[in-house]
Amino acid sequence: MTTKNRIINSAIKNFLVFGYEKTSLSLIASEVGIKKPSIYYYFKNKEELFIFSINHILDSVEQEIINSIKKVDTSKLMLESIFTCMIEFNSNLSLLIGNDYNKPINILNLFHLARNRFSSLSERIDNYYNFLETTILNIIKIGQNNNKIRKDLDDKSLAIKIIAWFEGLFMLSTIYSSFNINTIRQSFYDNMWKMISCENEYIPPKKEKKGFFKNKSKPKTISLGTKW
């Protein structure tokens, strides 16, 4: 592994854990086992190192998603493989960070900072989400054509919704300690599929008239009490 690569690795690690400002070049240098001025031999400044790191992460995750989709051939499995891929990419980043840091990692955070600070990264991140959106949209269309995904759901807005769902889960797992993504990932995906797919076997309740929900009849008052 070249010095340059070791610098990049350490940079990604520290940017993920501490953010941009709090990551110091001295820290990166000491982790790599060189002195601070040596970093300037490879990168013009901190900004260039950061931009390089983020681009590197985005290139990798896009490539992994493309590869993983190719291995399966149903819309259900394709969506699942994107989901798995995103989770595993996250896990790999966690691994990169190592056991020393047991703080949750949050790549979205870094993306947000990257966007605000550097316009070139703003474009790159848009490209990434554009790629995700188009990919998922196409999978949905295939699923709808094959009668596997509900046609009453608008494809375009469903695509965005799925992305938001995935990202929201990652986000939540880093800011809500009671929530562990690994314990629910399978049930989450199954449940999501249940909602969007034609395999839905829900049988409407028989005690209510079918028109009930459409009427503007005043529903029973539901006490929210103080219990919760």
Partner DNA sequence: GTCTATACGCAGATAGAC
Partner DNA sequence: GTCTATCTGCGTATAGAC
Q: Which does 36 bind (CB under 5 to 8 A by kind): its own copies, DNA, none?
A: DNA
Judged by beta carbon distances under 5 to 8 A according to partner kind, the member of its own copies, DNA, none in contact with residue 99 is: none
Q: Residue 3 or residue 84: which is nearer to its own copies going by CB?
A: 84
Length of the chain measured in residues: 228
Q: Which of its own copies, DNA, none does residue 204 bind to, with CB < 5 to 8 Å depending on kind? A: its own copies
Residue number with CB closer to DNA (40 or 213): 40
Question: 84 and 68 in contact (C-beta within 8 Å)?
Answer: yes
Q: Which CB atom, from 34 or from 181, has the smaller least distance to its own copies?
A: 181
Q: Minimal distance in Å, beta carbon 177 to DNA?
A: 26
- Nearest one of 163, 119, 113, 171 to 139, comparing CA atoms: 163
CB of 22 to DNA, least distance (A): 8
Residue type, 42: Y
Choose among DNA, its own copies, none what residue 51 binds, the Cβ cut-off being 5 to 8 Å by kind: none
Q: Which does 26 bind (CB under 5 to 8 A by kind): its own copies, DNA, none?
A: DNA
Instruction: Note the residues at the interface with DNA (CB under 7 A).
Output: 3, 23-27, 29, 34-38, 40-41, 44-47
CB of 38 vs its own copies, minimal distance in Å: 25
Tokens coding 65: 């998603």
For its own copies, the closer of residues 41 and 165 by Cβ is: 165
Burial code (b: 16+ CB inside 10 Å, e: under 16) for 23-50 equals bebeebbeebebeeeebeebbeebeebb
Report in angstroms the alpha-carbon separations of 40 from 2, 54, 121: 15, 18, 21
In 3-state terms, what secondary structure has residue 79?
Answer: helix
Torsion of CA 109, 113, 118, 119, to 10 degrees: 70
CB of 189 to DNA, least distance (A): 40
Angle at 75 between CA 71 and CA 78, to 5 degrees: 40
Residue number, 17 or 29, with CB nearest to DNA:
29
> Closest CB to its own copies among 30 and 147?
147
| Residue 63 touches which member of DNA, its own copies, none, C-beta under 5-8 Å by kind | none
What DSSP designation does 190 have? H
